[in-house]
Amino acid sequence: MRYKYRFSELGKVPFALEYDDITLVSRYSELPPKYEISLETYLTNKIKLNGPLLSSPMPNVTGPEMCIALGLTGNMGVLPKTMSIDEQVAQGKRVKRYSSGFITDPVVLSPEDSISRALEIKREMGFSTIPVTHDGTPHGKLEGLLVKYAYSERYKDEKVKDRMLTFEELEEKGILHYRRPSLPEAEEIMRQNNFGKLVIVDEEGNLDSIATWADVSTREEHPYALLDKDGRIMYGAAVGGPGRVEDLEERAKRLIEEAKVDVIFVETAQADSMGVMELTKKILEDYTQSYDIPVVWGNIDNRKSAERLISKCCESRDAIKVGIGPGSICTTREVTGFGVPQLTAVYECSEVAREYGVRTVADGGLGNTASKASGNIIKALCAGADACMLGGLFAGTDEAPGEVIEVEGRKMKRYYGMASVEGLKRGGGTRYYENIKDAVVQGKEIMVPYVGSVYDVIYEVEKNLKYSMRVHANAKNIKELKDADLEFVIKIK
Query: Would you list the domain boundaries of the chain?
Result: 4-99+225-490, 115-221
Please tell me the predicted confidence (pLDDT) of residue 216. 67
Please tell me the predicted confidence (pLDDT) of residue 332. 81
Give yes or no for a contact between 239 and 297, defined as CB atoms under 8 angstroms apart.
no
- Per DSSP, the three-state class of 420 is coil
Cα(437)–Cα(177) distance, rounded to whole angstroms?
A: 58
Please tell me the predicted confidence (pLDDT) of residue 492. 78
Give yes or no for a contact between 24 and 488, defined as CB atoms under 8 angstroms apart.
yes
Consecutive H or E run containing 237 = strand 236-239
At 378, the amino acid letter reads I
Consecutive H or E run containing 95 = helix 85-97
pTM of structure: 0.82
CA 151 to the chain's CA centroid:
35
Cα(75)–Cα(389) distance, rounded to whole angstroms?
A: 10
Q: Is 226 left (phi over 0), alpha (psi -120 to 50) or beta?
A: beta
- CATH number belonging to the domain at 4-99+225-490, selected among 3.20.20.70, 3.40.190.10, 3.30.70.2740, 3.40.50.300: 3.20.20.70
At 211, the amino acid letter reads A
Catalytic residues: 330, 431
Map 27-87 to HEC letters: CCCCCCCCCCCCCCEECCCCCEECCCEEECCCCCCCCHHHHHHHHHCCCECEECCCCCHHH
C-alpha to C-alpha distances, 1 to 4, 5, 7, 21, nearest whole angstrom: 9, 12, 17, 15
Give yes or no for a contact between 102 and 176, defined as CB atoms under 8 angstroms apart.
no
At 400, the amino acid letter reads A
Nearest Cα to Cα of residue 346 among 368, 327, 322? 322
Instruction: Report, as ranges of residue numbers, the positions in the chain whose pLDDT lies below 50.
Output: 419-421, 423, 428-429, 431-434, 441
Nearest Cα to Cα of residue 15 among 364, 492, 411, 458? 492
Superfamily of domain 115-221: CBS-domain (3.10.580.10)
